[in-house]
Chain A
Amino acid sequence: MKITLNVNGKLHDIDIDPGEYLLDVLRRIGYKSVRRSCNSASCGTCTVLLNGKPILSCSTFAASVDGQSIETVEGMSDGEKLHPIQEAILEEGGAQCGYCIPGLIMTGEALLRENIDPSDEEIKLALNGNICRCTGYEPQNRAIKKAAQVMRGELDE
């Protein structure tokens, strides 16, 4: 069957199998930041934004999001210039192996769009579903807080 996806503002007409997952379709059309880890809705690595909200692409049928808007980490940077969350993750040591990072950044981005000044508790609750094997979470939580300060104009980029 045919579906249309708006990925990071670009329209794609795609042939899919009716039982295919969004993760596989996104990777097939070139969005390789979208990664599989647990494949059972339990780790958050495959997080993308669907109409601005974080969802798990490993357990979303591609057919169910026909005509809708998807955002991946490929759409975050502006050419060479990284998004404040990406910059803060690097500065705070929030990425080690990096495997979980695209999903984590998308959840962080959705949080900051909803709440530009989140408390530590709110950050923890929002990132609860993004498992990281390497960092112990503290540097990632700090990074979201720092990115929020930058985005509020309280800290220089």
Chain B
Amino acid sequence: MLSNVNEYFRPKTVEEAYELMQNDRDHSIFLSGGTIVALMESSRIEKIIDLKSLRLDTISVTEGEIVVGATTTIESFRKDPVIRKEFDDFFYDAFSLVGSWQIRNMATIGGSVAPKLGWSDVSTCLLTTGSSLMIYGVDGYQRMLVSDYFALPTGEKPLITHIMLKRDGWVSAFEKFSKTTFDIATVNVGLSIIPERNRIKVARVVCGSRPQYPARFESVETAMVDLEINDVMPAIVRSLVYESFTGGSNMTASFEYRKHLASVLAQRAAEKVKEMIT
């Protein structure tokens, strides 16, 4: 039990939720799926602000992009017919590797991105698909790329209200290595390309659980431009990731081990993408 919690709020609007947080930032916490909050054992938390009452759990299509409410669970998201069709089961397959069925029924898309977790498969996949967030903070509503959200100063704790996705011709694949079937990733890799006349027009290469939060490897992306999509392309991607890997060591894996893993996972992702195109 979070024994110091003495108030539980169910705000009706985003503005109200944010104001409740501003009133006592030191002792308040937003609650979405709760899979992190419930395990916190923190005596600091006195006020829970439950975001589920905002009913931000819908998926809709607006002006050509898919708009996902932040409290949509990972399982509802991956099984949503619009998401499955639009992304050719990229999210359906990738998110089947997130935790267990129970965890996916609880954890939400917003709650996965908000804490800037290093290991989050959700964040890696959203970066891989170039997704954006709608956040509400001191300056009101603001739209930003997931990568820009990760670059915000740690003290800033805006409320994420929506995630926006658009396929725009990208073909994506995801690979993860973990020690047991529902453990968090030792390393995960997402790869997207736009093909043009059997060559790579543009690429996105994302690596997570490095152990820092997921990041794009821009030098790899640049080097992949104009590569022919053939049988040797995946091996080239592997060497590029091996050469450019940035990350570190922790109790799960050393830098060297991660570097090898990331390059092999990138090769596998490139093979998948090649299969999808050819």
B34 and A19 contact, CB distance less than 8 A? no
A128 and B101 contact, CB distance less than 8 A? yes
Cβ of A119 < 8 Å from any Cβ of B? no
- Residues on B with C-beta less than 8 A from A60 are 34, 38, 106
Given contacts A41-B38, A125-B96, contact A18 B8 (CB under 8 A): yes
Taking the closest CB of chain B, its distance from the CB of A112, in whole angstroms, is: 13
- Residues on B with C-beta less than 8 A from A130 are 100
A128 and B35 contact, CB distance less than 8 A? no
- Residues on A with C-beta less than 8 A from B105 are 50, 53-55
Cβ of B103 < 8 Å from any Cβ of A? yes
Given contacts A21-B1, A44-B102, A129-B103, contact A61 B34 (CB under 8 A): yes
Taking the closest CB of chain A, its distance from the CB of B218, in whole angstroms, is: 35
A1 and B100 contact, CB distance less than 8 A? no
Cβ of B151 < 8 Å from any Cβ of A? no
Count of interface residues, chain A, beta-carbon cutoff 8 Å: 30
Cβ of A63 < 8 Å from any Cβ of B? yes
Expressed in whole angstroms, the Cα–Cα distance for A119 and B102 within the complex equals 19
What 1/0 mask marks residues of chain A from 37 to 72 whose CB sits below 8 Å from any chain B CB?
000111010010010011110111101100000000
Cβ of B52 < 8 Å from any Cβ of A? yes
Determine the residue in chain B with the shortest Cβ distance to A106: B102
Taking the closest CB of chain A, its distance from the CB of B172, in whole angstroms, is: 21
- Residues on B with C-beta less than 8 A from A44 are 100, 102
Given contacts A18-B6, A19-B2, contact A59 B38 (CB under 8 A): yes
A40 and B39 contact, CB distance less than 8 A? yes
Known: A41-B102, A64-B31; 18 extra A-B contacts, CB below 8 A, are A1-B8, A17-B5, A18-B8, A18-B48, A20-B1, A53-B75, A55-B106, A56-B106, A59-B39, A60-B34, A61-B37, A63-B8, A63-B50, A107-B101, A107-B102, A128-B100, A128-B181, A129-B101
Chain A residues in contact with chain B, CB under 8 A? 1, 17-21, 24, 40-42, 44, 47, 50, 53-56, 58-61, 63-64, 107, 110, 125-126, 128-130
